[in-house]
Amino acid sequence: MFSKILIANRGEIACRIIKTARRMDIKSVAVYSEADAAALHVEIADERVFIGPPPSAQSYLIADRIIEACKKTGAEAVHPGYGFLSEKAPFCEALNAAGIAFIGPDVRAIGAMGDKIESKKLAKAAGVNTVPGYLGVIADDDEAVTIAREVGYPVMIKASAGGGGKGMRIARNDAQVREGYKSAKNEARSSFADDRVFIEKYIEEPRHIEIQVLADGYGNTVYLGERECSIQRRHQKVIEEAPSPFLDGKTRRAMGEQAVALAKAVNYKSAGTVEFIVDAQRNFYFLEMNTRLQVEHPVTEMITGVDLVELMIRVAAGEKLPFTQDDVKLRGWSLEARIYAEDPARNFLPSIGRVTRYRPPVESQFVRVDTGVYEGGEISMYYDPMIAKLITRGMDRETAIGHMREALDAFQIRGVGNNISFLAAVMKKERFLSGRLSTNFIADEFPEGFTGVELETEVNDRLIAVVAFVHDRIAERNRTLSGQLPGYQPPRQNFWMVRINRQNTPVFVDETDRGADVRVGGQVFSLVTSWVIGDLLWVGTVEGRKMVVQVDIRGDGYRLLHGGADVVCQVLTPRAAELAELMPVRVPPDRSKVLLSPMPGLLVHLAVKVGQEVKVGEELAVVEAMKMENILRAERDGVIAKTNVEAGSSLAVDQVILEFE
């Protein structure tokens, strides 16, 4: 067994690998860029080596610096995690030449499966079902249009070396093919230094289901069930689960056997994932093979009891798999939600900055948190905006969902935007609860984007009861503070008006030894809680049902987060509520005549000039952030009056790019 390994990655996956290495009594070496000098993975590793400037192309993607770090520290092996160099065959070759073990498959498997075009040819030869399409390299957008017409619309344009949703576009007509071809090539070049793309048939209402495989160097290959990864946004997974609520035993076995056949065709060794598209009739087609650890691997670990990172290390050290296919048993259900630094209300634009508060839910046998973030740390503009992966487990799907909803309510993040409210909203959708999923789920269920959650009346009343109780406790504490005017103590006040969206609800709070009885309108709610002043998390029961609410004090009011809802309210005396009715409503400024940068990023392209007429939907500018290109389009007809920045400029959030007449 290795005595020391280097993790050629950052963030949550680096931290996750370090934890397993520590449990195996293996020393760990972290590498870091300037932007990651204070990162969590650097802090918890046994040793650390600086490798360059913030851009990954100048640090994490430079193989020579990783190898130098291995030699400097005496690391015998490298675990690449996912992304960066994890699927780069030349990196594996360079490690081999330096006498350093690669914790992953060999060069041939990486090269064969890492290229989406070649992998589809190999899959077809191995008897694996494949999607109709054109696997040759496409010269230009004219040829792309010709091919798309032959395959038949709609089509998917994909980067050959792609992954993580980058370099992918759906096209339903010639114009979209031309635009998608150019954008996909640009993203592919930027992210993977390889701008080749190919085209295949886009299957309507598809499910994205993948099979986890594991193989050693002695010819033993097994599959560890499947993961349902259909809930995606912009081709990037958002929520995953294992097993799939859609597959039956027969389909699971057929997919698993085809995945194993493909792995054996390239003499695969280590953990890997074979991804399939599955249609409504359970017909499945090979999508790609990821020759690395997947972001969503924890859900498989939760239902199989297998530590995939540990087995990757053991296989790389020359050990055999300790079990056979017959030993693999799936127990219970598990879900993973990816928590990103982004603003769902602004079309999921990335959010960067300092994390001023980070308090994940308490981990247990039912809740797991994989993260590379800590309170006071920063989310950088240079890398993926993931904050954490929240994983829950239950004996069945309903129980696992229940644990997830409760854990999302308890997850406290401040300082940067996050998608927790959106994840909670997904968990409440009837279509999700019934397991009727597809890769179009988010587009179908949120056609106008995410605009927040409307709470049911009963849940809203429970929230009102909670915030009234919190305010009553604080008011009673303030009433008895020392140092007040002599001879005067404010009278006890337990009748309040809870004001939400200029609507007042009368509330009477009667505190008890265990909590309070709170009358909201005509209904009394019994609250039982151990909450004390200063806690941002209210945990207790309301009418016997457990409830978790985040309560932030904001000036003269409160912000409540629960079940995907973000509620701002005030708790006032009846007289104060009466006076509040007289307050004017603040009107937001008119921004219809300016184009603002919706995120921090780089202005890649400015498509218009001063004096140019533009129509609704016409491209105005392209902003790159978090390695993704974002096209900004005109929301109305107009004439360009002024351009405020040039292509190549760095943009701040809400910075004015151009102005209309």
Give yes or no for a cis peptide into 154 (omega within 30° of 0). yes
pLDDT band at residue 535 under the 50/70/90 scheme: very high
The pTM of the full predicted model, rounded to 2 decimals, is 0.85
- The predicted structure's pLDDT at residue 145: 95
Dihedral of CA 294/300/301/306: which sign?
A: negative
Before 361, cis peptide (omega within 30)?
no
How confident is the model over 345-354, as a mean pLDDT?
Answer: 85
Q: Does pLDDT of 627 surpass 70?
A: no
Average pLDDT over residues 422-446: 95
Mean pLDDT over the full length of the chain = 93
Averaged pLDDT, 505-530: 94
Where does residue 474 rank: exposed (0-12), middle (13-18), buried (19+ CB within 10 A)?
middle
Give pLDDT tens digits for 130-182. Answer: 887 887 778 899 999 999 998 889 899 988 887 667 788 999 999 999 999 99
pLDDT, tens digit, for every residue of 67-119?
Answer: 999 999 999 999 999 999 999 999 999 999 999 999 999 999 999 987 777 88
563-567 average pLDDT score:
93
DSSP one-letter code for 60: T
Amino acid present at 494: N
Instruction: Choose the weakest-confidence range: 382-386, 598-602, 626-630.
Output: 626-630
Under the banding of pLDDT at 50, 70 and 90, the label for residue 487 is confident
pLDDT of 556 reads: 83
Binning pLDDT at 50, 70 and 90, where does residue 274 land? very high
Indicate which residue of 87, 200, 228, 288 is catalytic. Answer: 288
CA 514/CA 519 separation, integer angstroms: 16
Chain centroid to Cα 49, Å, comes to 28
* Banded model confidence at residue 351, pLDDT cuts 50, 70, 90: confident
Q: Of residues 211 and 522, which shows the higher confidence score?
A: 211
What phi and psi values does residue 514 have, to the nearest 5 degrees?
A: -105, -5
Question: Which residues 6+ apart lie within 8 Å of 289 measured at CB?
Answer: 113, 119, 123, 262, 263, 272, 273, 274, 275
In this prediction, residue 282 carries a pLDDT of 92
Cβ proximity of 258 and 327 under 8 Å:
no
Q: pLDDT tens-digit profile of 171-189?
A: 999 999 999 999 999 888 8
List the domains of the chain with CATH numbers.
4-103 (3.40.50.20), 132-201 (3.30.1490.20), 206-331 (3.30.470.20), 332-429 (3.30.470.20), 457-478+493-580 (3.30.700.30), 594-660 (2.40.50.100)
Burial annotation 372-402 (CB, 10 A radius, 16+ → b, else e)? bbeeebbbbbbbbbbbbbbbbbbeebeebbb
- Within 8 A by CB and 6+ apart from 13, the residues are 81, 82, 293, 295, 370, 372
The pLDDT assigned to 46 comes to 98
Question: 426 near 231, Cβ under 8 Å?
Answer: yes
Whether residue 626 is predicted with pLDDT greater than 80 in this model: the reply is no
> Could you read off the pLDDT of 252-270 as tens digits, one per residue?
999 999 999 999 999 999 9
d(CA 347, CA 387): 18
How is residue 420 written in tokens?
A: 């927790």
Average pLDDT over residues 592-615: 89
For residue 628, the tally of other CB atoms under 10 A from its CB is 21
- Whether the per-residue pLDDT at 321 is higher than 80: the answer is yes
Residue 288 is among the residues annotated as catalytic for this protein: yes
pLDDT class for 195, splitting at 50, 70, 90? Answer: confident
Can you tell me the distance from the alpha carbon of 435 to that of 244, in angstroms, rounded to the nearest whole number? 8
Helices vs strands, H then E, count in the chain: 17, 39
Per-residue model confidence (pLDDT) at position 131: 83
